[in-house]
Amino acid sequence: MLVVAATFFILLFLGMPVGFVLGVAGLVGIFEMGGGRFLMMAPDRMFAGLDLFPFLAMPFFILAGEIMNRSGITMHLVRFADALVGWLRGGAAHSNMVASVMFAGITGAATADAAAFGNTLVPAMVKQGYTKPFACAVTAAGSIIGPTIPPSTLMVIYGSIMGVSIAGLFAAGIVPGLLICAICMAIIAALGKRLNLPKREGGPQLMPILRAFRESFLALVLPIFILGSILGGIATPTEAASIAVFYALIVGGLVYRGLTWHDLYDMCVRTTRITGVIFLIIASASILGWWMTFNQIPQAVAEGFLVLSNDPNMIIGMIIALLLFIGLFMDINATLIILAPVLAPLTAEIGMDPVHAGIMIILALNISLMTPPVGACLFVLASVTKEKIENIAKSLWPFLIGEVLVLFVIAYWEGLTLAVPRWLGL
């Protein structure tokens, strides 16, 4: 175990991509078990780790998001959000949050949200008088709503490897996502006067709202259709994702006429790259995960936690602290694949519902997308807007505190977290 741990952290520190770090550490562990003859198991573990039908949903959801961004559908959602809340003080920031909720129901990827709004809303907010770091912080805070409100690639991964209902996870993610939006909007309102955030003249107007709703109606239908088909048992997540791509192509290409053949090529290439990275991490983590399971490391970790405390509330707090700490340094997909099999038995031991435990773990990892030094959304925004990560992080801390508070509410209030799944009978 010490050799594997040392290999893992040394390679990670040296800057090797996490997908390769996981694979090499797993290979070292297998070799230590029985020499070269055990290494023949590695390819089998890699393919077995990817041989799950629900994983097909991920590239389709990613491609649907790319189509929404490239065809201009996203901007219709933004205009509708602005018509709803843009009249408030800090209206552009509020619109950013509401648009993140709408966009979340299509892509399920925080980095896609950060890239889309970093290119469009951040420059618009700066023109209206917001500082660039604050505009980036608002976008980063709202971006994690994407993988929290369904569909979510993290939920697909967790449900697939842990045997938990993906539909149940999707349903349970709705309340946390809306809570994140609500608390971030409350923070923006609280900061409004202190930071002198811009305020548009006049109040809400019915006709602009109706006009924006009409123009964005086809885009708004898509997340409702995706979630309705999955939660209603009409389609599997994979089927719903493929239908989402078809619908986005029709609306973006034929209705809004915002796509070219060159755009389609670029979107397919980008989807392939993103999917390839995720699948490499999953495949490599499968080697390390098998080695950990063979050596009963999950059971040992669970016993170690229970030795420290038998109080379920204390154990939940320790799990959250562990996830937030590791999320500072590791890719969330790799963290999920490694720690889910370790932490799931522990949550079962203290009586947590599997769906409740899954949402807690996923939300904690989503928050790490906006925490330096490895927060993916921060890197995306820094790249897109040319703003320094440290400046974004300074403006981000009120939102980070608020979202961690939501995490604790979700972790300790099972009835709230599971309200929607129970209402739907999932």
Give the separation between CA 156 and CA 348, rounded to whole angstroms: 20
Q: Is the pLDDT of residue 181 over 90?
A: yes
Please report how many Cα atoms fall inside a 13 Å half-sphere around the Cα of residue 233, on the Cβ side: 4
Give the separation between CA 379 and CA 115, rounded to whole angstroms: 10
Sequence-distant (6+) residues with CB within 8 A of 425 are none
Three-state SS sequence of 316-355: HHHHHHHHHHHHCCCCHHHHHHHHHHHHHHHHHHCCCCHH
What is the per-residue pLDDT across 295-304, written as a single tens digit (0 to 9) for each? 777 667 777 7
Q: pLDDT value at position 208? A: 84
- 174: part of which helix (H) or strand (E)? helix 174-194
Q: pLDDT value at position 36? A: 63
Q: What is the mean pLDDT of residues 369-376?
A: 78
Q: What is the mean pLDDT of residues 99-124?
A: 78
- Find the radius of gyration of the CA atoms of the chain: 22
Q: pLDDT value at position 38? A: 66
Mean pLDDT of the chain: 83
Report the percent of the chain where pLDDT is more than 70: 96
- 276: part of which helix (H) or strand (E)? helix 261-294
Q: pLDDT value at position 412? A: 94
Q: What is the mean pLDDT of residues 192-212?
A: 81
Give the separation between CA 222 and CA 105, rounded to whole angstroms: 8
Indicate the pLDDT class of residue 107, thresholds 50, 70 and 90: low
Q: pLDDT value at position 50? A: 76
Give the separation between CA 319 and CA 380, rounded to whole angstroms: 28
Q: What is the mean pLDDT of residues 263-281?
A: 84
Give the separation between CA 359 and CA 410, rounded to whole angstroms: 8
| Other CB atoms within 10 A of residue 205 CB | 11
Report the phi/psi class of residue 22: left, alpha or beta, with left for phi > 0 and alpha for psi in -120 to 50.
alpha
Report pTM. Answer: 0.82
Q: Which two tokens stand for residue 414?
A: 């099972």
Residue given tokens 């305020």 in the structure block: 199
Q: pLDDT value at position 37? A: 63
The Cα-based distances of 250 to 80, 99, 150, 173, 258 in angstroms read 21, 22, 22, 28, 10
Q: What is the DSSP letter of 369?
A: G
DSSP-H helix ranges across 332-413: 332-349, 354-367, 376-385, 389-412
What is the per-residue pLDDT across 16-57, written as a single tens digit (0 to 9) for each? 877 788 888 888 888 777 666 667 777 777 777 777 777 787
- 287: part of which helix (H) or strand (E)? helix 261-294
Q: Is the pLDDT of residue 391 over 80?
A: yes
Q: Which two tokens stand for residue 102?
A: 């709408």
The answer to whether 281 and 332 are in contact (CB under 8 A) is no
CA angle 129, 131, 137 (to 5 degrees): 125
CA angle 182, 200, 136 (to 5 degrees): 55
The answer to whether 361 and 339 are in contact (CB under 8 A) is yes
Give the separation between CA 180 and CA 162, rounded to whole angstroms: 26
What is the per-residue pLDDT across 60-88, written as a single tens digit (0 to 9) for each? 888 887 787 777 777 777 888 888 888 88
What is the per-residue pLDDT across 314-365, written as a single tens digit (0 to 9) for each? 999 999 998 888 887 777 877 888 888 888 888 988 889 999 999 999 999 9
Q: Is the pLDDT of residue 149 over 80?
A: yes
